[in-house]
């Protein structure tokens, strides 16, 4: 386990890397003794610095819940991070690549909660009962640690590689459609790069939310009403650069598009 002083120092280092859009050497390369609990402590130290700077949490993200993402990263344990008010975009927006050290997109669903969720043993019905609506969403990934050799410890410390949330499409009631069968195609500059179906997230995307509620409970935290919860990607990440256009087509649930500048 890392010392509290070192955890605070690494959280400050990440806060500065977030501000300057720079990439750091991996924590596990410098501190091979670091464990998963250390990485969540580092993430919380980084989070607390952002809160102290006046930013507001608007939701949470869950990562590495699908087989596609586990194969893409070589990491088999889900993780989570927080989403702040200055990281949200909407369909049709132009997104400045200068905001990020690197830019990748995943296809997901976002649950808007109307009730808090906490604790272990939550079912799909528990999550749906607590949900106002479910909407198409893209997660913009960013990384402030070098990607090669990255482990779950590095990823969690870096706020689970979260960079931004892009909302769009048509929101639906939590029981209006079978969420498992929501599918999407993701294109870059008109060429389809990835496809997937939401059942790729633990068999049902609501189970991703249930997993997160249980995990947060272990740290004395909970999911709050009014928060968006990104349930996990059901495609592999696609790289984008300035000048590229991304379009995700969710068929009956509409599309999300954005352009990187």
Residue 14 lies in a domain: no
CA–CA distance, 14 with 42 (Å, rounded to integer): 9
Q: In the chain, how many domains are there?
A: 1
Q: Is residue 8 part of a domain?
A: no
For residue 105, the enclosing domain spans 56-260
How many whole angstroms separate alpha carbon 13 and alpha carbon 9? 6
Position 124 scores a pLDDT of: 97
Domain membership flag for residue 16: no
Residue 99 makes CB contacts below 8 A (sequence gap 6+) with 21, 163, 164
Which segments of 32-121 are extended strands (E)?
57-63, 79-84, 88-90, 94-95, 104-113
Span 55-83, average pLDDT: 79
In-domain check, residue 40: no
What pLDDT is recorded for position 73? 61
The string of pLDDT tens digits covering residues 180-195 is 999 999 999 999 999 9
Model confidence pLDDT, tens digit, residues 219-250: 788 999 999 999 999 998 999 999 999 999 99
Tallying the residues shown for the chain, one arrives at 261
Question: Helices 4-20 and 36-52 meet at what angle, rounded to 10?
Answer: 60
pTM of the model: 0.91
7 is a domain residue: no
- Confirm whether 20 is domain-assigned: no
CATH number where 243 lies: 3.90.850.10
Helix (H, G, I), strand (E, B) or coil at 210: helix
Is 239 within a domain? yes
Q: Copy the structure tokens of residue 254.
A: 């509409």
Q: Note whether residue 234 is domain-resident.
A: yes
């Amino acid at each position: 386990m890392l010392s509290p002083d070192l955890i605070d120092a690494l959280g400050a280092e990440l806060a500065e890397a977030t501000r300057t859009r720079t990439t750091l050497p991996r924590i596990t390369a410098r501190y091979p003794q670091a464990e998963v609990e250390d990485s969540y402590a580092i993430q919380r130290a980084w989070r607390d610095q952002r809160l102290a700077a006046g930013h507001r949490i608007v939701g949470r993200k869950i990562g590495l819940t699908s087989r596609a993402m586990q194969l893409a990263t070589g990491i088999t344990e889900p993780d989570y991070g927080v989403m702040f008010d200055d990281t949200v975009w909407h369909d049709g927006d132009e997104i400045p690549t200068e905001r990020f050290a690197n830019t990748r997109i995943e296809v997901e669903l976002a649950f808007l909660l109307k009730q808090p969720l906490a604790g272990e043993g939550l079912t799909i019905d528990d999550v749906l009962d607590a949900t106002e609506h479910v909407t198409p969403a893209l997660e913009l990934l960013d990384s402030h640690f070098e990607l090669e050799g990255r482990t779950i410890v590095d990823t969690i410390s870096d706020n689970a590689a979260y960079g931004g949330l892009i909302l769009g499409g048509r929101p639906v009631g939590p029981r209006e459609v079978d969420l498992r069968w929501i599918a999407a195609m993701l294109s870059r500059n008109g060429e389809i790069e990835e496809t997937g179906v939401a059942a790729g997230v633990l068999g049902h995307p609501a189970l991703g939310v249930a997993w997160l509620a249980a995990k947060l409970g272990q740290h004395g935290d909970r999911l709050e009403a009014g928060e968006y919860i990104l349930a996990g990607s059901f495609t592999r990440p696609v790289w984008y650069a300035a000048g590229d256009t991304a379009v995700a087509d969710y068929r009956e649930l509409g599309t999300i598009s954005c352009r990187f500048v």
